[in-house]
Amino acid sequence: MSFDEMPDGRLFLAGEWQAGTGDEITSVFPADGSVNRVLRGASRADGIEAIARAGAAQADPAWRGLKPHERARYLYAIADGIEANIDRISRIQSRDTGKTLRETAALAASAAGTFRYFGAVAETMDEDLTAQRGTALTLSVHEPLGVVAAITPWNSPIASDAQKVAPALAAGNAVILKPASWSPLTALELARIVEAAGLPKGLFSVLPGSGREIGNLLVEHPGIAKVSFTGGTTTGRALARKAADKLMPVSLELGGKSPTIVFGDADMDQALAGILFGIFSSSGQSCIAGSRLFVQRGIYDEFVARLVAATKRLKVGHPFDAATQVAPLIHMDHRAEVADHVARAIAEGAQLLCGGAAPDGDLYAKGSYYLPTILAGVKNTDRICRDEVFGPVLVVMPFEDEEEVIALSNDNDYGLACGIWTRDFPKAWRVGRAVNAGTIWHNTYKQFSISTPFGGEADSGVGREKGRQGLRAYMAQKSVYTDLTGQMHPWAAATVEGL
């Protein structure tokens, strides 16, 4: 992709392209450290302007008064725009994040599906006529919240952006999207597509900028009715405290340390492939990465030996190489953090089975690559088994039986996902129901469907995205009572009569 094709770095502020007045942000290509763009992020003043204009656009009858099927047309147009630009978005996102083109094309396609899905949900979701108990007709209806802030991380920009922007717009809100500072360009490309779809000005802004400055503003400002956040647990917890002061609803999609469990009766090859994909695809930079592996004692040695052999075969390479399975990490700073986790685990007694370093060779010299890494000889209570590494690092532990593995899985602060590998369906069912996690995968991993809710428990977050109810997360419920009698209320009838 030529440099000129990349978003030029201006912000999309309430439908106008303008230079930011906040801190400088640099988007770097993680494969070689070259600079994609240097841009000025949004300042507080930019944010305040965007919030005011979003509030006015949201309240305008031209938007507020649209019927759901009329709003849905904009979502379908955005979906069409994304679909027509998948290659372009994919190239921008791969440069912005270092992810493989194969993965970013799939993320763009899923983002198009998300807009289409929520357009369809908006125009087919019924309001409720509730069971009548008195003399009034009773209804439960839903209204937009107002201006919604979407704050997203760097690991899957277009998909996590769409997951928030699509239902929020479909519900009739205005949206201000703040992407992560390490990947500001993909969201700006989404803004170009939203603009081309003809969404009225003001309803959508993309404001890259520091979490400290623009992120905080979006959380604290009284003009923001809801924050939908995806990111780390520490950031999410701090944000939720501030939201509590405002009594503002938040949805929080946070981190994970998800267990994957291989029982002795599992199809070993199927489990191996699924576990490799679950932890090492996206270079482990995935909230749902299956980063804690429990293997039943009877097959432990054989399974782990084959897992290590397979891991060493994974193709670590350039994001633009179609054969690449493990691409660079997002940033050199992030690679240093991942390496620190591994070094500390080894210092505390973990046994390094493979990886644990950057790959050798010219191809890798300037990029933030890190080899797929497996650590054994650890206890479930060790820091490496509790902290989210957010990189290609897997810990492996043996277990004896169902009861023990449920206890080990649940002995963790997170509760995002769990993979269970067994041919015994009733056992998978029992274990899946007992493990604390928002998503259970049986004989598969990291599969997603926009029609199926997603979210976490405990330190993995609050609320659910996706699914038909995902639309309601961006709406306020309202009850309506309409009199059916045409009579005066008996309490005051005599008082009023004859006046």
Residues annotated as catalytic are 253
**Nearest distance in Å: CB 456, ligand NAP:** 6
Instruction: Please tell me the count of residues contacting ligand NAP according to CB under 6 A.
Output: 31
| Binding span for ligand NAP by CB under 6 A among 94-102, 208-216, 399-407, 424-432 | 208-216
Residue closer to ligand NAP by CB (options 260, 422) is 260
10: number of Cβ within 10 Å: 16
- The site map against ligand NAP for 148-187 (x = CB under 6 A) is ---xxxxx----x-----------------x-xx------
Taking CB under 6 A as the binding criterion, the range among 90-98, 249-257, 319-327, 355-363 that sits at the site for ligand NAP is 249-257
* Minimum CB–partner distance for residue 466 and ligand NAP (Å): 10
| DSSP secondary structure letters along 377-412 | S--TTSHHHHS---SSEEEEEEE-SHHHHHHHHHSS
Helix spans in 317-394 (H): 332-347, 383-386
**Contact between 136 and 85 (Cβ < 8 Å):** no
239 is a contact residue toward ligand NAP (CB under 6 A) = yes
290 binds ligand NAP (CB under 6 A): no
Instruction: Measure the CA–CA gap between 138 and 73, rounded to whole angstroms.
Output: 30
Residue 281 beta carbon to ligand NAP: minimum distance, rounded to whole angstroms: 14
Closest CA to 477 of 144, 30, 129: 144
Tokens of 229: 């956040």
CB 419 within 8 A of CB 278: yes
The smaller minimum CB distance to ligand NAP, of residues 68 and 211, is found at 211
- Does 388 help bind ligand NAP (rule: CB under 6 A)? yes
Examine residue 47 and tell whether it contacts ligand NAP (CB under 6 A).
Answer: no
Task: Return the number of other C-beta atoms located less than 10 Å from residue 332's C-beta.
Answer: 14
Going by C-alpha positions, the residue among 392, 400, 432, 214 that lies closest to residue 294 is 400
Q: Could you say which residues in the range 216-235 bind ligand NAP, by CB under 6 A?
A: 216, 219, 230-232, 235
CA distances from 438 to 364, 380, 459 (A): 37, 20, 11
Nearer to ligand NAP, 170 or 254 (CB): 254
CB contact at 8 A, 285 and 155:
yes
Choice between 318 and 334, CB closer to ligand NAP: 334
Instruction: Specify the residue, 241 or 379, whose C-beta has the smaller distance to ligand NAP.
Output: 241
Residue 278 sits in the site that holds ligand NAP (CB under 6 A): no
Binding mask 404-423 for ligand NAP (x = CB under 6 A): ------------x-------
- Give the separation between CA 344 and CA 145, rounded to whole angstroms: 46
Q: Which residues contact 441 (CB under 8 A, 6 or more apart)?
A: 274, 417, 418, 419, 420, 447
Which residues bind to ligand NAP, rule: CB under 6 A? Answer: 151-155, 160, 178, 180-181, 210-212, 215-216, 219, 230-232, 235, 238-239, 253-256, 287, 388, 390, 416, 456, 461
